[in-house]
């Protein structure tokens, strides 16, 4: 049964307080607020009529728009302070934090918008958050993330020098692969992020991410190592670090792929 409007509104306010508290703890000093929303917030909740409109906020049309008052309790926001308040990237992360455009919003703990440098040489794209990412609101912080960190360091970068994100920003239950519908619902966020970040090169990790970005059924073992173009950006498909944890012998070909990325960037291959 749907929660009573008043309970729903109270839950929404609780979620907002939580979100603002979190922003404060991350060192953010200001938030952007729509004047209409300020007006709404100024009204008392008791007795307030909540319109019964649908909660979904389509990513591309949601810019600068607050979620409707009937939106579900927002997922806890990402823990990253990398999204400075007031930046366009931060605004996207804030929209993601209240997004209900696909069913994954119902089971997430935190949204995981992605994090890192704002004008990176490389943007790494994975599939979607796992349990650790869902708990922390940060992309690639679990075991696969630790391996990704090693791969980034082997390339002569630090995590902070690159941008790390996923096709879907909310964890699929039990780490199942996101469906085509879920990826399609979430992709506009990644496209907006890519547009702002303007990475020189992207690395697309794993079969699902390749399917989500390129709508191809070509197996990752066939397509990896061959340059693709995503919206004009050279993109290297390679195996996912979680696959490498299960199949360490595949690390050799992934390193070939990453060396091709360095070559494309005109960077030396670090020795050792």
Question: Do the Cβ atoms of 145 and 139 come closer than 8 Å?
Answer: yes
Cβ 168 to ligand SF4, closest distance in Å? 4
d(CA 226, CA 235): 9
Tokens of 224: 């990896």
For Cα atoms 12, 19, 95, give the angle at the middle one, nearest 5 degrees: 80
Nearer to ligand SF4, 101 or 164 (CB): 101
Residues from 213 through 242 that contact ligand SF4 (CB under 6 A): none
Number of H helices, E strands in the chain: 10, 6
Of 9 and 144, CB closest to ligand URA: 144
Structure token digits, residue 122: 């490389």
Task: List the single partner that 185 binds among ligand URA, ligand SF4, none, CB under 5 to 8 Å by kind.
Answer: ligand SF4
Q: How far is the CB of 163 from ligand URA (least distance, A)?
A: 12
Task: Please tell me whether residue 129 binds ligand URA under the rule CB under 6 A.
Answer: yes
CA 75, 102, 32: angle at the middle one, nearest 5? 45
Distance, in Å, from the CA atom of 188 to the CA atom of 150, rounded to the nearest integer, reads: 29
Rounded to a whole number of angstroms, the minimum distance from the CB of residue 243 to ligand URA is 10
Nearer to ligand SF4, 170 or 205 (CB): 170
Site mask for ligand URA (CB under 6 A), range 153-182, x = bound: -------------x----------------
**From candidates 113, 116, 126, 172, binder to ligand URA by CB under 6 A:** 126
The total of other beta-carbon atoms located within 10 Å of residue 98's CB is 24
Do residues 220 and 241 lie in contact, with contact meaning Cβ atoms separated by under 8 Å? no
Question: Of 60-68, 162-170, 232-240, 244-252, which part binds ligand SF4 (CB under 6 A)?
Answer: 162-170
């Amino acid at each position: 049964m749907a929660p009573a409007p008043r309970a729903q509104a109270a839950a929404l306010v609780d979620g907002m307080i939580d979100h603002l508290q979190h922003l404060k703890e991350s060192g953010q000093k200001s938030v952007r607020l729509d004047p209409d929303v300020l007006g709404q917030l100024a009204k008392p909740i008791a007795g307030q009529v909540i319109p019964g409109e649908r909660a979904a906020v389509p990513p591309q049309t949601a810019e600068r728009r607050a979620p409707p008052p009937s939106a579900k309790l927002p997922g806890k926001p990402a823990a990253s302070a990398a999204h400075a308040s007031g930046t366009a990237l931060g605004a996207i992360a804030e929209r993601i934090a209240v997004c209900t455009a696909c069913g994954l919003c119902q089971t997430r703990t935190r949204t995981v918008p992605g994090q890192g440098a704002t004008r990176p040489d490389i943007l790494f794209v994975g599939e979607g958050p796992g349990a650790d990412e869902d708990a922390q609101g940060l992309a690639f912080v679990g075991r696969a993330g630790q391996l990704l960190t090693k791969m980034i360091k082997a390339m002569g970068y630090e995590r902070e020098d690159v941008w790390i994100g996923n096709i879907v920003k909310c964890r699929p239950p039990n780490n199942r692969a996101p469906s085509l519908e879920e990826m399609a619902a979430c992709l506009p966020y990644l496209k907006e992020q890519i547009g702002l970040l303007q990475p020189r090169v992207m690395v697309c990790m794993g079969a699902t991410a390749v399917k989500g970005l390129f709508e191809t059924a070509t197996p990752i073992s066939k397509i990896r190592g061959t340059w693709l173009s995503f919206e004009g950006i050279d993109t290297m498909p390679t195996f996912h670090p979680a696959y490498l944890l299960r199949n360490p012998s595949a690390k050799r070909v992934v390193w070939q792929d990453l060396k091709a990325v360095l070559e494309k960037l005109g960077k030396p291959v670090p020795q050792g």
